[in-house]
Chain A
Amino acid sequence: MAQMNMVKAINLALREAMTEDDGVILLGEDIGQDEGVFRVTEGLMKEFGEERVIDTPLAEGAIVGCAVGMALYGLKPVCEMQFSGFAYQAYHQIEGHMSRYRNRTRGRYNMGMVIRMPYGGGIRAIEHHSESREALYAHNPGLKMVIPSGPRNARALLIASIRSLDPVIFFEPKGIYRAFREEVPDEVETMPIGRAVVAREGSDITLISYGAMLRPTMEAAEDLSEEEGVSAEVVDLLTVSPMDTETIAGSVAKTGRAVVIHEGPRTCGVGAEVTARLIEKSFFHLEAPIRRITGYDVHFPYFASEQAFLPNAERIRHAARETLAV
């Protein structure tokens, strides 16, 4: 066991995946000599060489498009988008080919590839560096959309994503890249894609979240318990698509109340999907309307306002109290 932050844990996963499979190729901007703008690929070019850790020209479309070609050829490309806000220049390759090739060729070609993207707010960055657009990818058939919430599950889910023969969008909550450390086991560990976990058990209300928002959600749950004697259960989605309906519905069947929390905009966001599933599967267990604490349906503000804008423990607690009062 070693203590590490999420940057180190993702770096470890990349190193392990590259060691176990010589077809794993990293492509991205500034990931080699510079070791990534967040240092996620530290030491990898030195260890695996320029042919497997590739500093590409500055073009997201070709990073993903070439990776599609490599995947067709049987390699396992892992692309880095420097920020998720730049991935739209590759979106036609993601939607048009990465998500479709297996289906289009009736299974003749798998798209075993991963696109890693730092997403979300909290790092005092300029425009286009703070958005949470996971719903775009979750809406897109043929992809899997994974969002870890801490170092240990980041490492385990990235290994699983790289091993998968399906295309995975892997969102990295950059706001908590270095926020805390966790014990990460020495031996290679994986977690199943498509499975949520109960991060905290409780019986009065279910708080459903993922990614960087898991932290304020956990904080709110602790506060509710300490200050108000409320037993809140927290579900960490981990995979946004395919969504683990069973775990969220199972939790709400027990508590009868739910608040969904995420950074991305509310309308047609992941919270809308969670809510719809709870209405479909847990309607008769519900004691109160489901609440959503999310980013608003506006563009993410410039960073002078970002801490005020991001959902926080106080807002989550407030929504939980209101839900419990019904």
Chain B
Amino acid sequence: MPRRNIKIETRVEYLSILDDRGRVDTALEPKLDGDLLLYMYRMMLLTRRLDERLLNLQRQGRIGTYAPIRGQEAVQIGSVVGLRKSDWTVQAFREPGVSLHRGWSINRIIKFWGGYEEGCAVPEGVNDTPIAVPVASQLPHITGIAWGMKIRKKDDVVVGFVGDGGTSEGDFHEALTFAGVFKVPAVFVITNNQWAISIPRHKQTASKTLAQKAVGYGFDGIQVDGNDVLAVYVAVQEAVDRARAGKGPTLIEAVTYRLAMHTTADDPKKYRSDEEVKKWEKRDPVPRFEKYLRDKGVLDDKTVAELEEDIAERIRKGVAEHEATLDVNPVECFDYLYNEVPAELEDQRAEFAAALEREGVGTGD
């Protein structure tokens, strides 16, 4: 017959485990031990406090433009705490929670926003990519790294990030197309924080959800409450398990909210209402998880106070370490470009060094 419905084999689910007030759905609650739960909370709190500190440092002119992440801590921590060291993570450009868990020092995280290339120097032994500035351009790298794992017959996986705005880019389409065709062990996490600078989610795409875009690429998508760290953890771990077992990629849309500005260079009051922000503040992932942990008996006032003190000290040390290492050697911009350095670049380096010397700028050489 010429006209009939096509049956599409796919699944687009929604998952929420902790509600806005921290009440748990016991049927869906993952069985995680107290140490891991406490660690997740500690990392979310550290991420939040570091974010607050970085915003302050920007306001004081001690770092450059900063992209805050307040409200998105659960997406970041929930996505990566279950990974192995040999797995890879691929960042977009505001995942300091991921970096903190994966072993980047606070000093190194600050360095990027302070204007130092060292902020992108992935620490030895850490299988991450650094901040990728052009939106969505990191997505094919997720597919490529995962493809490499498949070619090398490893059971490792890649978890990578993009924002809601990034789903409109061609790289999103291409990366997910390839991931589906070659069934690579990749988990694509969309941090849907509702706003791409001033463009709201509904103006980004007419698609009802971002998760359903997976259907077009031939794999499963799931939408989770991105302010519920347990839901993020469960959805990502299920996707990771499938990827390890050779069952291919998954798209996860984590619905969250950017409580602060896009970067310190814009004023969100120009494009969104305070009421909207207040509504989302009630869904804040950190107090929600704290409530759950207190109800479980994993956390009490004393522990929270100790954590806060310890985190404040870590951040204080990180900032001090950064500010003790502000010297630059500008000629180093030549030193990492090539593995085999062309002679003409050596000449230009010498020319630059000589100019700096004439101008009285130290080169450290």
A, B co-complexed: yes
Cβ contacts under 8 Å, A164 to chain B: 339-340
Return the CB mask of B164-189 against A: 1 if under 8 Å, else 0: 00000011011101100110000000
Shortest CB-to-CB span from B246 to chain A, Å, is 14
A141 to B334, CA, bound (A): 10
Classify the secondary structure of B's interface with A. Answer: helix
Question: Does A115 reach chain B (CB closer than 8 Å)?
Answer: no
The docked-state distance in angstroms from the alpha carbon of A59 to that of B169 is: 13
Asked if residues A106 and B120 are in contact (CB atoms below 8 Å), the reply is yes
Q: Is A65 an interface residue (CB 8 A)?
A: yes
| CB-based contact B148/A65 at 8 Å | no
Asked if B178 and A56 make an inter-chain contact with CB atoms under 8 angstroms apart, the answer reads yes
Assess whether A92 is in contact with B140, with CB atoms less than 8 Å apart.
Answer: no
For A242, what are the chain B residues with a Cβ–Cβ distance below 8 Å?
342-345
Q: A72: CB under 8 A from chain B? A: yes
Closest CB in chain A relative to B184 CB, distance in Å: 9
Interface residues of A in 74-113 (CB under 8 A from B): 74-75, 77, 89, 92-93, 96-97, 102-110, 112
Complex Cα gap A52–B150 (Å): 11
Q: Is the CB of B137 within 8 A of A73?
A: no
A65 touches B151 (CB 8 A): no
Chain A residues whose CB sits within 8 angstroms of the CB of B120 once the complex forms: 104-106
The answer to the question of B323 belonging to the interface, with a C-beta cut-off of 8 Å to chain A, is no
A71 vs B337: C-alpha distance in the bound complex, in angstroms? 15
Residue of B nearest to A194 (CB): B342
Does A70 have its Cβ within 8 Å of any Cβ on chain B? yes
The one of A54, A142, A165 in contact with B337, judged by C-beta atoms closer than 8 angstroms, is A142
The smallest C-beta distance from A75 to any residue of chain B, in angstroms, reads 5
- Size range of the interface on A? 35 or more
Asked whether any CB of chain A lies closer than 8 Å to the CB of B219, the reply is no
Which residue from chain A places its CB closest to the CB of B142 in the assembled complex?
Answer: A69
In angstroms, Cα B177 to Cα A184, docked, is 40
B177 interface neighbour in A59, A67, A68, Cβ under 8 Å: A59
Residues on B with C-beta less than 8 A from A245 are 344
- Cβ–Cβ < 8 Å partners of B145 in chain A: 69-70, 72-73
Among B122, B137, B174, B336: residue with most chain A CB under 10 A: B174
B326 at the interface (CB under 8 A from A): no
Q: Is A25 an interface residue (CB 8 A)?
A: yes
Chain A nearest Cβ from B172, distance in angstroms: 10
Whether B343 and A65, one on each chain, are in contact in the complex, defined by CB atoms closer than 8 angstroms, is no
B129 surroundings in chain A (CB, below 8 A)? 72
Q: Chain A contacts of B364 at CB under 8 A?
A: none
Q: CB < 8 Å: which of A77, A106, A142, A243 contacts B344? A: A243
Q: Is A61 an interface residue (CB 8 A)?
A: yes
- By a CB distance below 8 angstroms, the chain A residues around B291 are none
The 8 Å CB contact of B121, one of A61, A68, A105, A243, is A105
Chain B, residue nearest A59 (CB):
B174
Tell me if B141 counts as interface (CB < 8 A to partner A): yes
Of A74, A106, A109, A112, the most chain B CB neighbours within 10 A belong to A106
> Which residues in B have their C-beta under 8 angstroms from that of A69?
140-148
**Contact, CB under 8 Å: B339 / A65:** no
CB distance from A293 to the nearest CB of B (A): 25
- Within the complex, what minimum Cβ distance (angstroms) separates B109 from chain A? 15
Contact of A106 with B118 in the complex, beta carbons under 8 Å: yes
Decide yes or no: A97 and B137 within 8 Å by CB, A66-B144, A72-B129 being known contacts: yes
* Residues of chain A contacted by B71 (CB below 8 angstroms): none
CA distance in complex: A142, B121 (Å): 17
Distance from A37 Cβ to chain B, minimum over Cβ atoms (Å): 20
B185 to chain A, nearest CB (A): 12
Say yes or no: A61 contacts B171, CB within 8 Å. yes
Query: Bound state CA distance, A325 and B17, in angstroms?
Result: 86
| B339/A68 in contact, CB under 8 A | no
Which of chain A's residues 119-149 have a Cβ closer than 8 Å to chain B? 141-142, 144
A166 contacts the other chain (Cβ, under 8 Å)?
yes
Residues of B within 8 A of A61 (CB): 140, 170-171, 174
In the assembled complex, A62 has its CB within 8 A of some CB on chain B: yes
Q: Is the CB of B175 within 8 A of A65?
A: yes
Contacts of A97 in B (CB 8 A): 132, 137, 141
Distance in angstroms between the alpha carbons of A312 and B151 in the assembled complex: 47
- Does A57 belong to the interface (CB within 8 Å)? yes
CB distance from A157 to the nearest CB of B (A): 14
- How far, in angstroms, from A142 to B338 measured CA to CA in the complex? 6
Residues of B near A72 (CB, < 8 A) are 129, 141, 144-145, 148
Query: Could you write out 11 A-B pairs with CB less than 8 Å apart?
Result: A68-B141, A69-B145, A72-B145, A74-B148, A77-B144, A93-B137, A102-B338, A103-B333, A108-B122, A165-B340, A194-B342
Interface residues of B (CB under 8 A from A): 88, 117-118, 120-122, 124, 129-130, 132, 134, 137, 139-149, 151-152, 170-171, 173-175, 177-178, 181-182, 333, 335-340, 342-345
Q: Which 9 A-B pairs have the closest CB atoms?
A: A69-B144, A65-B140, A242-B342, A73-B148, A62-B174, A66-B144, A106-B121, A165-B339, A69-B141
Given A73-B145, A194-B343, 10 new contacts (CB under 8 A): A59-B173, A61-B170, A64-B140, A65-B137, A69-B142, A102-B339, A105-B122, A105-B130, A142-B338, A164-B340
